[in-house]
Every structure is written in structure tokens, then in C-alpha cells.
Amino acid sequence: MAMEPATYVHHNALVLVGDGQKALFLRNKGTAHQVKLAVEHVLERDNPPTREQGSDRPGRSSASVGAARSAMEETDWHDIAEERFAGELAEALYRYNHANLFEKLVLIAPPKVLGNLRKSLHAEVIARVTGEIPKELTSHPVAEIERLIAA
């Protein structure tokens, strides 16, 4: 059974809205039914597409026995930067948790970013997650985010 977003964006919950390069740490100053988000912190990293980051051409390898050769896959610098950023977010949430800055946490991010974040989150932080919304909302104004999660 799907939970309605408004039922888990409690008063004073921390709402993390993130993607692969930007994260908004928002606080619900309203209620679960009248969400009113205030920006507490913004984290941003430059993460251009791989074609603008990687200067290396894919390498080649030779088998140590025989004459077999194979191409190596090109490094996806964009994905690596997204995973690193998820690690930074997880670390920030861990620090927030240890400073008792939230009891309830809602994560909003595209599915791939949510997956990277889940892999990086400490168990103490995971225990405080009350909801996840698999959407990209970092480019939306705060009022639009409020409307979308209170719907």
C-alpha cells in the first residue's frame, strides 16, 4: 500500500531534495498536511557530462597468453561524481544526525541517486527515514516542491 506523501513529511522533518550534483536540505516548518519548507542548507558540486570530463580514450588490454585483445569500457566520470556526491550527502546527513538536527528524514531524488544514497547512508540515518520520493525536484522552486509533496 502506497503511503500518501503528506502523511510522512511531519512537522520539523528534514527533507533532502537531491540529484547527482545539487542537494537542498529543507525543514518542514508546517504540518504533515500543510507542508511549509524552509531552506537550511544547499550543497552543490559541478558535474559536467562525461564527454566534458574524461580526456582518456578507452584503453586496450592484451591477454597474457595468446593474441587476444579487448577494448576496455570508457570511464563514466559523471557516474563516479554522482556516487561521490551521494557519499558526501550521506556524510552530511550523518553529521546532522549526530548533532540531533532531525528525527525524521524524507529523501527526494531520482531513482539512481536514491540508490547511490541508500548504499552510502549510515544505519542510524536509515532508521530515521520516514519516506522516499523517486523524483528529480532540485530544479523546482521550493513552493512547487511543497505542492508536489503535499499532494
Residue for cell digits 546532522?
96
Structural domain of 132: 5-53+60-150
Distances (CA, A) of 69 to 53, 56, 75: 26, 19, 19
Domain count, the chain: 1
Q: pLDDT for 75-88, tens place per residue?
A: 677 678 788 899 99
CB burial string 123-151: b at 16+ within 10 A, e below: eebeebbbbbbebbbbebebeebbeebbe
> Which pLDDT score, from 0 to 100, does residue 5 have?
47
Strands 14-18 and 60-62: unpaired
Tell whether the model's pLDDT for residue 94 goes beyond 50.
yes
Q: Where residue 8 falls among pLDDT bands split at 50, 70, 90?
A: confident
The CATH number for 46's domain is: 3.30.420.60
Q: Where residue 6 falls among pLDDT bands split at 50, 70, 90?
A: very low
Contact 117, 93 (CB under 8 A): no
